[in-house]
Chains A and B, each alone.
Chain A
Amino acid sequence: GAVVSQHPSRVICKSGTSVKIECRSLDFQATTMFWYRQFPKQSLMLMATSNEGSKATYEQGVEKDKFLINHASLTLSTLTVTSAHPEDSSFYICSAQSSGSTYEQYFGPGTRLTVT
């Protein structure tokens, strides 16, 4: 149980285009989802916290208009990288937190974004 999927697993796009990444909790309802960014050989950096039905809360330094997050249902959150640039190339990871009280996060396998 507690499986989180991400789609796509990897994507290559041209500069200036937008890319949408989906994060789904497959067998539980997630009231909260988190989006992280991971640079090579570095830690996961929290980008934003997404609560179902409300606006995402972004961490300091993360551009809200560039990284659009939507959490429209209890099983789906999306991250859209708008007007992508090569410096946006990274590994994006989502996690989902169940509605229970354990506050445990379940992580997706990540999406490798390459902007050319």
Chain B
Amino acid sequence: GDSVTQMEGPVTLSEEAFLTINCTYTATGYPSLFWYVQYPGEGLQLLLKATKADDKGSNKGFEATYRKETTSFHLEKGSVQVSDSAVYFCALSDRGNTGKLIFGQGTTLQVKP
């Protein structure tokens, strides 16, 4: 079945460092891909998404490109802030558009001043 694999955390960075969180997927067909963020004590929020190959999703300085050839959707940010500390989830949604999401295990990011 479909699955999502993320790099294990926690990831600890200093402020203004470059961030990469790896995400790869296995899916039949052509899924839509998402990154969600969960700040402490809050629900998941959609950070960005891409619906087809080579699409780049971006938001709040974060970017991820849908790479069909490597089945990847790595999350990047050029300069992280303390406020970016959160848990990040990669997810996919099948093309059947049932709305069902399959999540990776989540990666905790801690940014230190």
Contacts and interface: CB of A to CB of B under 8 A. Distances in A.
A95 B106 CA distance: 17
Interface stretch (B13-21, B37-45, B78-86): B37-45
Interface in A28-46: 32, 34, 41-44, 46
Contacts of A103: 32, 93, 97, 99
Contact of B99 (A6, A49, A93, A109): A49
Interface in A86-112: 93, 95, 97, 103-110
A96 to B, nearest CB: 10
A18 to B, nearest CB: 24
Nearest to A108: B43
B28 interface: no
Contacts, number: 47
Interface of chain A: mostly helix, strand, loop or mixed: strand
Given A34-B99, A43-B106, A46-B101, A104 B42 contact: no
B35 interface: no
Contact of B45 (A46, A93, A107, A110): A107
A32 B89 CA distance: 21
A44 B99 contact: no
Contacts of B42: 109
B103 A44 contact: yes
Given A43-B105, A44-B103, A49-B100, A107 B43 contact: yes
Interface in B60-113: 89, 93, 97-106
A42 B32 CA distance: 22
9 contacts: A43-B106, A46-B102, A49-B99, A93-B44, A103-B99, A107-B36, A107-B44, A108-B43, A110-B43
Interface of B: 32, 36, 41-46, 89, 93, 97-106
